[in-house]
Amino acid sequence: DFLFFWGAVFLITTTLVALLKKENKELTPTKEETKGITDTYKLLFSIIKMPAVLTFCLLILTAKVGFSAADAVTGLKLVEEGVPKEHLALLAVPMVPLQIILPLIISKYTAGPQPLNTFYKAMPFRLLLGLEFAFLVWWTPKVKHEGGFPVYYYVVVLLSYALHQITLYSMYVAIMAFNAKVSDPLIGGTYMTLLNTVSNLGGNWPSTVALWLVDPLTVKECVGAQEQTCGTPVAAEV
């Protein structure tokens, strides 16, 4: 119902824009110089070859390795330990106002000449939160009781996620501000797209690797089956 409603709203509003919105014909905008696909990729390649851009790309591709496991696996491990998915989903609701307000607050500190300072300052706190998330996963089965989990447990989880969002957005807004600042205005769209793509890739590949490593790095214990290991998926199934 939710998807159907907003799908209908989307179709209606975009159709109304297409039918009712008219271009201002009195103004004749100057024709923008555009490049073909081949020229654009040649330009991108020349940008990547610049020493400063190459160093920055290597930095941003590896900067998020330290907290990839905590970001990608914590929620899954909490569900595995018995925390209901719907409760975790409800905890995301209070995060929405925070996610709206945070960029507005952080942008004041990233508007100066050195926006990456905020990125650097937030990183150690986000790494420490990774340890806190690991403690949270370890603590979860110890507070579980027959009726589920106590209220104070959800308060701790909520505060943990709120602090995590602050560090996450501090780094995110800072890197976007830096990309906007260093991009050449003459080729701003191409330049910024390249840097933002590298930034997104730098966040995605460590999470993918972390998820892939969860199974081989998880220690399993067989209960009620002597001399039987559970080191591989096949053995665990047996």
pLDDT at 34 over 70: no
- For residue 203, give its domain range: 38-214
Region 103-125: mean pLDDT is 88
| pLDDT, mean of residues 88-100 | 88
Helix (H, G, I), strand (E, B) or coil at 29: coil
For the chain, how many structural domains are there in total? 1
CA distance 208 to 218: 16
| Residue 221 within a domain | no
- pLDDT > 80? residue 207: yes
Report yes or no on 230 lying in a domain. Answer: no
The pLDDT score that the predictor gives to residue 42 is: 84
Average pLDDT, the chain: 86
Q: Is the residue at 204 inside a domain?
A: yes
Q: Which helix (H) or strand (E) holds 237?
A: helix 233-237
Does a structural domain hold residue 42? Answer: yes
**Is residue 9 situated within a structural domain?**
no
Answer whether residue 16 is part of any domain. no
Nearest Cα neighbor of 77 from 132, 133, 130 is 133
Cβ contacts of residue 51 below 8 Å, gap of 6+? none
pLDDT at 195 over 70: yes
* pTM: predicted TM-score of the whole model, two decimal places: 0.75
CATH number (domain holding residue 186): 1.20.1250
193 lies in a domain?
Answer: yes
pLDDT band per the 50, 70, 90 thresholds, residue 74: very high
**pLDDT band (50, 70, 90) for residue 188:** low
Residue 113: helix, strand or coil by DSSP? coil
107 lies in some domain = yes
- 94 and 158 in contact (C-beta within 8 Å)? yes
| pLDDT reported for residue 28 | 56
As a whole number of angstroms, the distance between CA 214 and CA 79 comes to: 15
Better-predicted residue by pLDDT, 86 or 234 = 86
pLDDT at 223: 78
